[in-house]
Amino acid sequence: MAIYIDPPLWPAHGTHFSHLVSDASLDELHMFAAAAGIPERAFDGDHYDVPERRFDDLVAAGAVSVEARVLVRKLIASGLRIPARRRNKSLKVPLLNRWEAIMPGHDALFLDLLDRWSEPHRHYHGSTHLLSVLEALDLLAEPNEPPRTVLLAAWFHDAVYRGAAGRDEEESARLAEERLADAGLPEAEVAETARLVRLTSDHRAGPGDHDGALLCDADLSILGTGPDEYARYVAAVRKDYAHIGDADFAAGRAAVVRHLLELDPLFHHRRARELWLDAAHRNLNGELA
């Protein structure tokens, strides 16, 4: 068991904050925090927010300093992570930090994408889904950084969302081609990002397509959650398709579920299968029944 802390990068209240987590136990985390004099009000579900002035003290007390992305991976692997979709606070800051890591200096494009992901008609396919996919990529790619094209494809894969399956992915891919070319990315990176976005239409990554498999697995990670989380996901998808009548939605959703059950493999990477495959089959079969 260990306590981890990331650098003070998160701006708020005139300073910057670090996150303090445990890789095994909230009890361990609470005991460490209490011994260090961190107030209970600083606890936020799965971590403590601690101001920059406390960073050196906490490292001296035994907290292990790691990069923010490593800390997130530790927390996800521990099973203590509260999924992004269950958080009520704004996701702008964590998403901005992730964007800056791959596309520094392109704030206008970030804000455009954030506006798209935050559109009021989105319930499941919103910014919480984006962050969840990025977190899943962190977990699947550990200990390496996911390729930039895969991360960019995650940012663009539902950038256009009107509830028109297939057409949304195609328009999202075209948006990626246009905006990333304007941003000055090499032509090969633009083309690969768009290709990956189009893959999320049917999640059929071909043999040897490691990057496509990585993105598809991360996008479908919601399928392998617990029954309560899965029920919230299905309810949110229904809201996304509120413009469709109940009978038509039921028929369309059943077709989607059957397609997912027929995917072989449903998850490509060994780590994804270990984490999500059994639960995904239970959830999908239960929904279809």
* pLDDT of 83: 66
For CA atoms 272, 275, 277, 282, the dihedral sign is negative
* 94, burial (CB in 10 Å: exposed 0-12, middle 13-18, buried 19+): buried
Please choose, from the candidates 203, 121, 44, the residue with its C-alpha nearest in 3D space to the C-alpha of residue 33.
44
pLDDT band at 269 (very low <50, low <70, confident <90, very high): very high
pLDDT band at 77 (very low <50, low <70, confident <90, very high): confident
Q: Does domain 92-288 have CATH number 1.10.3210.10?
A: yes
Taking the chain, what is the end-to-end CA distance rounded to the nearest angstrom?
41
C-alpha–C-alpha distance, residues 154 and 79, integer Å: 23
The token duo for 51 is 């101001």
Cβ atoms < 10 Å from Cβ of 49: 16
Least confident of 51-55, 141-145, 153-157, 199-203: 141-145
Query: Percent of the chain beyond pLDDT 90?
Result: 56
Q: Greater confidence, 135 or 85?
A: 135
* pLDDT of 88: 44
Least confident of 76-85, 131-140, 199-208, 240-249: 76-85
* pLDDT of 214: 96
DSSP state of 207: T
The residues near 265 (Cβ < 8 Å, ≥ 6 apart) are 273
SS3 11: strand
Q: Report pTM.
A: 0.71
> For residue 85, is pLDDT > 60?
no
> For residue 121, is pLDDT > 80?
yes
* 166, burial (CB in 10 Å: exposed 0-12, middle 13-18, buried 19+): exposed
Please choose, from the candidates 155, 131, 5, the residue with its C-alpha nearest in 3D space to the C-alpha of residue 65.
5
* pLDDT of 232: 85
The token duo for 136 is 């899943």
SS3 44: coil
pLDDT band at 259 (very low <50, low <70, confident <90, very high): very high
Three-class SS of 82-124: CCHHHCCCCCHHHHHHHHHHHCCCCHHHHHHHHHHHCCCCCCC
Strands (E), the chain: 3-5, 10-12, 15-22, 48-51, 64-65
* pLDDT of 86: 55
C-alpha–C-alpha distance, residues 132 and 116, integer Å: 16
> For residue 274, is pLDDT > 90?
yes
Q: Alpha carbon 8 to chain centroid distance?
A: 22
